[in-house]
Amino acid sequence: MQQARRRPGLARLYARWLAALFVALELVTIASVLVFVMFPMAERGADDLAGLMVLSAQTWVELPPETRPVFEAELARSHRIGLRPQMPPAPDSGLRHGFYIRFLERAFERRLGQEAFFRHEVAAEGDDWLWIAVPAAGRSVGVGFAISRLQTSPLAALAAALAAGMLFVGVLAWWLARRIAQPVARLEQAAEQLAQGANPALLPEDGPRELADLARHFNRMAVQVRELSDARTTLFAGLSHDLRTPLARMRLALEMLTLAPSPQLLERLERDIEEMNGLIGQLLEIAQGLHPEAAQQLALCAWLEQRAEAHRAAAAAAGATLVVHCDAALQARAAPGMLARVLDNLVVNAIRYAPGPVELVAQSVPQPDGTAAALRIGVLDRGPGIPQDQLDAVFRPFHRLEASRSRAAGGYGLGLAIVKQLALANGWSVALQRREGGGLEAWVELPPPA
């Protein structure tokens, strides 16, 4: 546990990764700018400046002496270039300048055919100048320029850009990491609350697609856990209530049997035991629905025909008919036992409460995003239907529309609860809706194949 606590949080970890990625990207960008943009431009500019300086020295030598001062003044005013009539070549003093001056020295070497080095001097005005000797007409003419003429500091600009980029990268990486990790942190807190038995608030389903899908799946799971918990509470409450009546009758019958044995009392005891056994059997059916079952590929139409055939005798006895409507090409992947129990409960309800034509329908449902189509199976009848305000309530355990609570008329009130629990356990959705023209439609929707 202590080692787990020492691990960095998701936000800090993502911030480090993003910062390293951004810094590496910035360094690659700066290197690319230097190699492919700034160095070629500096080399071209240095070559142009070297050509101007050599041309200025050669022109000065060829001019008449009386016009040279005017030419020197024009060079100083327009280009900040100075000339010296006699200046010996400067030796290599070991002084190293920036890459632009090094490009300039190479340009002079190409033009003069010999090594060339700059001499650094400070003018009377306080400006820094660089001088170089240029041979012209048998003379060594010194040509210099003020360093302020360059008026650029590319390395300083790159250093400032790198510093600003590092600051920006740090802030951006931390913001992005928090934005990514915050939904995960909310999910972790909600999962912890759910594990402790609390009902966490549903997560917002926004942000990137993966995080939105994760929040959507968690919300669905939280709702299912909440519904299962509510159903369990209702089951226990309904079980205790519905078992008290037969137990009270059995206690009274036993007391009467001790006074005067009677076959009628024994028959009543047997009916009460059967009623309790039926109730416990349906509760066990709900519990069995929570055990996983392997999914199989089903030829849906043939499978529906088998389910219909299993109920046709009971349907005929109740005055109902079963008809299957299905496209022969439909295939479904589902747990056959679970799906059969869901469909059987719906068919039994339709036969019991809506004798007449009952249709088993299978349909393919296209998805709005164009992904694989879902499948839905319906049990459609022409019975009295269910009031609109009761369509959701009938899925609650022990909820009966028939108010007499008679087993013959209203059953135990667990059939649709079993359907709901089985659907939740398998990731299906089940819904009831009033049928146009009268009757009820019960639909079970299976998700698209993965």
Examine the pLDDT at 228 and tell me if it is beyond 80. Answer: no
Quick: pLDDT tens for 171-219: 777 777 777 777 777 887 888 887 777 777 888 887 777 778 888 888 8
Better pLDDT: 292 or 29: 29
Using CA atoms, how far residue 141 sits from 65, 84, 104, 133, 135, in Å, is 14, 6, 17, 6, 6
Of the given ranges (8-12, 29-33, 77-81), which has the lowest mean pLDDT? 8-12
pLDDT value at residue 369: 66
pLDDT value at residue 295: 84
Phi-psi region of 296 (alpha: psi -120 to 50; beta: other; left: phi over 0): beta
Better pLDDT: 380 or 37: 380
Q: What is the percentage of the chain residues whose pLDDT exceeds 70?
A: 81
pLDDT value at residue 43: 85
Quick: pLDDT tens for 11-36: 676 677 777 777 787 788 878 877 88
Examine the pLDDT at 290 and tell me if it is beyond 60. Answer: no
Better pLDDT: 83 or 272: 83
pLDDT band at 4 (very low <50, low <70, confident <90, very high): very low
pLDDT value at residue 432: 92
pLDDT value at residue 441: 93
Contact in structure between 119 and 89 (CB atoms under 8 Å): no
Better pLDDT: 123 or 435: 435
* 163-167, 267-271, 311-315 — most confident range: 311-315
Examine the pLDDT at 404 and tell me if it is beyond 50. Answer: no
Quick: pLDDT tens for 422-447: 787 788 889 999 999 889 999 999 88
Contact in structure between 109 and 54 (CB atoms under 8 Å): no
Domains of the chain, with CATH numbers? 2-154 (3.30.450.300), 202-288 (1.10.287.130), 293-450 (3.30.565.10)
pLDDT band at 94 (very low <50, low <70, confident <90, very high): low
Quick: pLDDT tens for 341-392: 889 889 988 998 888 899 999 988 887 766 667 889 999 999 888 888 888 8
